[in-house]
Amino acid sequence: MNYRDMRAGEEHSVLDIVLRGFNEFVRPDFTEQGVAEFMRAVNEFVVEHLDGHHVTIAEENGRLVGMIDVRDGTHVSLFFVEPSVRGRGVGRALMTHAFDGYNGPVTVNSSRWAVPAYERLGFEVTGPEAEFLGIRSVPMVKRA
């Protein structure tokens, strides 16, 4: 497994990973407005290289199998791993690579589905589930 920064030209492959994971696990919890907002935001984060965002990918045998998008060095905006490699430490390694050298708190607004995965990575829930623009999320933090 190789972990590295996303390169120019890989945006749509990364977007494919995000959309497959979103459609399978996250979309059912969102309203129509939430789905539209998510699609708009994902395009900005991944395809348009929104300022303040950094994408790290996991690659196996030349195939992208995971991604993490970090905003401002402290907040997980997107985090998806292909089902074929789940349970092999890919998510943990992506998190480690994305925050290499950073020892402060890391935040995420998790989908309900992903809360247990984040808890296994050391995150804890910091408040009740909330909905904003049709997007339901659970605030979490991983303390230093």
SS3 label, residue 6: coil
The CATH H-level (homologous superfamily) assignment of domain 2-102 is: Gcn5-related N-acetyltransferase (GNAT) (3.40.630.30)
Q: How confident is the model over 48-80, as pLDDT tens digits?
A: 666 678 899 999 999 999 999 999 999 999 999
pLDDT for 42:
84
pLDDT for 80:
94
SS3 label, residue 8: coil
What the block records as the tokens of 11 is 């945006």
Q: Are 91 and 106 in contact (CB under 8 A)?
A: no
Q: Return the minimum-mean-pLDDT range out of 42-51, 95-104, 109-118.
A: 42-51
The count of other CB atoms within 10 Å of the CB of residue 79 is 24
Domain assignments of the chain as residue spans, ordered by start = 2-102
Nearby residues of 60 by Cβ (< 8 Å), 6 or more positions away: 1, 2, 85
Q: Is the pTM value of this prediction over 0.85?
A: yes
SS3 label, residue 77: strand
Torsion angles phi and psi, residue 43, rounded to 5: -60, -40
CA 54 to chain centre: 11
Buried b (16+ CB within 10 A) or exposed e, 91-126: bebbbeebbeeeeeebbbbbbeebbebbeebebeee
Mean pLDDT of all residues belonging to the chain: 91
